[in-house]
Amino acid sequence: MTKVLVSGACGKMGCEVCRAVYEDPELSLVGVVDISHIGEDIGESVGLGKLDICIKNDLEATLNELKPDVMVDFTNPSAVMNNIKTAIKCGVNSVVGTTGITVDGLEEIESLLKNKNVNVFIAPNFAIGAVLMMKFCEKAVESFPNVEIIELHHDQKVDAPSGTALKTAEMMSALQKKDIFELPEKEILKGARGGKFKNIRIHSVRLPGFVAHQEVIFGSKGQTLTIRHDSIDRVSFMPGVVMAIKQVQRRKGLTYGLEKLMDL
């Protein structure tokens, strides 16, 4: 049994992770941490009934007390780096779904993991369909170099663009050919053309009603190609999260992206 602690357990993703871990016969939910609902039973909070697992708010003390095999973090961009550092300090492997970690942050994590017997897995998106969407886009850009990304998320998501959009743009830009049509810049309203990652425009939408969605539009003479993925329920991320929990102990150092676990 892999012992799991969930950080950010009372958030929407954290609640789903608690349920997924509890229901998997190979995993054991041993502790939860959050800044809200402290002292309450997490089972009653997520609809599983009383589990005798109280919500705590001191991550380091809880990690040292419970000594889990894996910490799963779904918190927020302002807290995630400190949480990862705390887990490394405590000798606990991490699976991280919190977005907003910068390139410098990834490099810092790699540095902290040197000569340590602890691993970190980070993914911008844990939906298997989203990973396939990114791989399909990577193939499509070889023939359709003119491309833009539209990502749509719920109104509580604080970072923009999404980690998935940035990862998709990074993957495509590495294979993008040079014959890209460049429209002269003439924004009447600043930002109307979105942000830009190398040669790829990214547009972010934040509205109530959405969960996580991404549409990648390719344009060529006389035709367009659209590749889209929709997560309509947060349960769509759980197979990927569970996969990462079960594999992180065997993945040395820092692993970035669910595709690494899917051998794509």
Cα 6 to the center of its chain, rounded Å: 15
Q: Is 77 left (phi over 0), alpha (psi -120 to 50) or beta?
A: alpha
Pairing between β-strand 146-153 and β-strand 70-73 as defined by DSSP bridges: unpaired
Task: Find out whether the peptide bond into 161 is cis, omega within 30 degrees of 0.
Answer: yes
The sheet carrying 254-256 orders its strands as 55-56, 27-33, 2-7, 70-73, 93-96, 120-122, 254-256
Q: Which of 157, 167, 203, 229 is catalytic?
A: 157
Determine the Cα–Cα distance for residues 140 and 106; give it in Å rounded to an integer: 28
**Local structure of residue 213 (DSSP, 8 states):** E
Q: Which of 56, 153, 167, 213 is catalytic?
A: 153
Judging by beta carbons within 10 Å of its beta carbon (0-12, 13-18, 19+), is residue 99 exposed, middle or buried? buried
| Distances 219 to 135, 144, 173 between C-alpha atoms, Å | 18, 6, 15
Among this protein's residues, is 153 annotated catalytic? yes
Radius of gyration of the chain (CA): 20
Which among 82, 135, 130, 123 is positioned nearest to 99, based on CA atoms?
123
For 158-180, b where at least 16 C-beta lie within 10 A, e where not — what string?
Answer: eebbbbbbbbbbbbbeeebeeee
Among this protein's residues, is 157 annotated catalytic? yes
Active site residues: 153, 157
